[in-house]
Amino acid sequence: MIVRAKIYPIRREVTIRKPGRKVMRVMTLLRELGYGVYEVVVVKGGKPLTEDDVVTDGDEVEVYEVRSAG
Amino acid sequence: MAKCSKCGSKAVIKIPYARMNLCEKHFIEYFEGRVAATIEKYGLLREGESVLVAVSGGKDSVALLSALTAIAPELRLKIIPLHIHLGLGEYSDESLSVVKEVSRKLGVNTYILNLEEAVGAAIPELSAKSNRPPCAVCGLVKRYVLNAAAIEWGVDAVATGHHIDDLAPYALKNMLLGDMSAALKLAPVTTGEEGYLARRVRPLYEVTERECLIYVIVKGLPFVRTLCPNTFLGGMDALIRKFLYELDLRHPGVKLRFMRSLAKTATGRSTDQARIQAELTRCKYCGLPSRSDVCGFCRLTERVLGSPAGPRVREVLRRLQPLHAK
């Protein structure tokens, strides 16, 4: 499966590939991206996801780092 | 899938310290209720008061403006948003555009002060010519303008979007460095003096940065998604933030307890606050608070531009008209 993540505020795009899988928990996605559960907010289709939610093949998510931007 | 602890529908947030998962609707209620409870608990604002809301366009100030706007009718508050265009290139232009859109969505009339037009120089020039770090200059300018606006407009208080994740690391850092008196500045409210020094309040004192972010997302509000070009995320501050993050992960709520205890200490030492204020005098140029005969803002602008800009800023503020949301 392939999931694309746009990371803010640094505006980086990362593609996560997990061959042979159809779904992935958000917690796993965050581990792949190197974030702790409460260090970011993952958003899909304008809705925040919790670490228990899953993303599926082809999903595009936004990942917002929780830190002051200015 | 996590379910809302109140209604059983899909949760958008887990709040470990409150042992709750909440859906969009109940999280909005929770967040706004928490802001209202903070206002009441610490006596930040009284019914019928006017409050100047500093709105930069970042998630925290957008969350603050939205929550205050939502609870304003119940508390009969008059909300007066102010945005300062700091002249930081594309970042400031994006911030202004976000503030306009947020104001339109919330139906509030926001005042916009363009620093370059009001003072004759923006942050980069003030920083470069004074040889001071841009963040120090920016902080000084914002504090000055917010206080001056509140005084000129006869507003009861100035609200800023400082949340627990801004304040707790700073408090801990000051304690580690032995500067206990700096803790007084981190109270949820600092007293003012009519016609001179505005009361400053922090309605987000008991919410986290993550909650602010999720709140603006579920409310469908825009916010600035880029970093300020001058942001520095290293040094001791970053390490302390990381430490507090890890600590709160293992002991949910410890940050909140720490800040509540600090608020209690600061309130108990209100005589110290009064003493600090008693040491203030009036700037000989602009008449606003100062520790010496010239305030920091007038000293900075005099050095950079040849004349102090305080009186000019006060004059610009007196004539400033808000953008109309509708």
| Tens digit of each residue's pLDDT (9 = 90 or more) over B76-127 | 999 999 999 999 999 999 999 999 999 999 999 999 999 999 999 999 999 9
Distance CA B175, CA B171 (A): 6
- For residue B165, being part of any structural domain is answered with yes
Tokens of B323: 């953008």
Q: Classify residue B77 by its DSSP letter.
A: P
Average pLDDT, chain B: 92
Distance CA A45, CA A64 (A): 14
A41, A43, A70 ranked by CB distance to B231: nearest = A70
Coil, strand or helix: which one is A54?
strand
- For residue B166, being part of any structural domain is answered with yes
Query: Cα separations (Å) of A41 from A44, B32, B150, B186, B274?
Result: 10, 19, 35, 27, 41
Q: What is the CATH number of domain A2-65?
A: 3.10.20.90
**Better-predicted residue by pLDDT, B267 or A55:** A55
Q: What is the mean pLDDT of residues B28-57?
A: 97
The sign of the CA dihedral B46, B265, B258, B279 is positive
Q: What is the mean pLDDT of residues A31-37?
A: 93
- pLDDT value of residue B236: 86
What are the two backbone dihedrals, phi and then psi, of residue B214, each rounded to the nearest 5 degrees? Answer: -65, -35
Using a 10 angstrom Cβ sphere, with 0-12 exposed, 13-18 middle and 19 or more buried, the burial of residue A34 is exposed
Instruction: Flag whether residue A35 sits within 8 Å of chain B, measured between CB atoms.
Output: no
Q: B204-249 pLDDT, tens per residue? A: 999 999 999 999 999 999 999 988 888 877 788 889 988 999 999 9
Closest CA–CA distance from residue B127 to any residue of chain A (Å): 16
In chain A, where the domains are located: 2-65
- For residue B198, being part of any structural domain is answered with yes
- pLDDT value of residue A69: 47
Instruction: Flag whether residue A2 sits within 8 Å of chain B, measured between CB atoms.
Output: no
Q: pLDDT confidence of B37, banded at 50, 70, 90?
A: very high
Instruction: Flag whether residue A22 sits within 8 Å of chain B, measured between CB atoms.
Output: no
Q: pLDDT confidence of B279, banded at 50, 70, 90?
A: confident
Cβ-based contacts of A43 with chain B (< 8 Å)? 217
Helix B134-153, helix B310-319: angle, nearest 10: 50
Instruction: Flag whether residue B218 sits within 8 Å of chain A, measured between CB atoms.
Output: yes
Which distant-in-sequence residues (6+ apart) come within 8 Å of B315 by Cβ? none
Which distant-in-sequence residues (6+ apart) come within 8 Å of B91 by Cβ? A70, B224, B226, B228, B229
Q: Tally the domains of chain B.
A: 1
Dihedral angle, C-alpha B64, B65, B70, B71, nearest 10 °: 60
- pLDDT value of residue B269: 61
CATH number, domain containing residue B220? 3.40.50.620
Closest CA–CA distance from residue B135 to any residue of chain A (Å): 9
Instruction: Indicate whether A70 pLDDT > 60.
Output: no
Q: How far is CA B60 from the centre of its chain?
A: 8
Closest CA–CA distance from residue A20 to any residue of chain B (Å): 22
Size of interface A-B (CB pairs under 8 A): 77
